[in-house]
Amino acid sequence: MNSEHQLQNSCYNEHNMIIYEDLYTLREIYAKFSKKALEKNNEIMLIVTTYETPDTVRDMLSEYEINVQKHESNGSLVIIDSVQGYHRANFYGVLRLIQLLAIRAQKDSKSGIFSMADMGSFFLFGREKELVNYELSIPKTIDMRLKAFCCYHKNDFSLRLTKDQQRQLTYHHYKTISSSIFY
């Protein structure tokens, strides 16, 4: 099964991982799946970005003919910087945001939440051990209508984590999707 098919066939309650080749590939993935989540699946889309600004993400989504302003205004699209989400008060800021979005999704009769969170900010701060501990604290299946994707640049994953850490993270996610055969 190819990577795109695995991503499309992900279900609610899954805590998944994507290992992406480069920023171009990640942009293609989040733009394509944001469009589907917002316009076809009636989901709230959360994008947590590391290697580009939230404004760059907005521009990319606009290039895919997504009405970013409309979706942000009505709360169905949330774009945040990962430094703010993971490194301000504590690492669980993004998880808390997801819990609040789950409440909103239910109140607004949305299907659920589609989340793509780039984990690169942990590497920027040299917090690899904290990253692994954070990821291991989140189960493979989550008791909410959430399709969660933790995104790792392949160089961060393969060069900054030990083999044991890579094994732990791969094992602890419901599925691991490599973008190397995406496009």
Closest by Cα among 49, 115, 180 to 59: 49
Residues in contact with 25: Cβ distance below 8 Å, sequence separation at least 6, in sequence order: 179, 182, 183
**∠ CA(181), CA(182), CA(183), 5° rounding?**
105
| pLDDT surpasses 90 at 87 | no
pLDDT band at 91 (very low <50, low <70, confident <90, very high): low
Q: Which residue in the block uniquely carries the two structure tokens 């299946």?
A: 141
**Continuous H helices in the chain:** 3-8, 23-39, 54-63, 68-73, 82-87, 93-107, 120-124, 128-136, 154-160, 163-172
pLDDT over threshold 70, residue 89? no
pTM: 0.94
183 pLDDT band, cuts 50/70/90, is very low
Q: Is 127 helix (H, G, I), strand (E, B) or coil?
A: coil
- The angle, 0 to 180 degrees and rounded to 10, between the axes of the packed helices 128-136 and 163-172 is 30
pLDDT digits (tens, 9 = 90+) for 116-135: 999 999 999 999 999 999 99
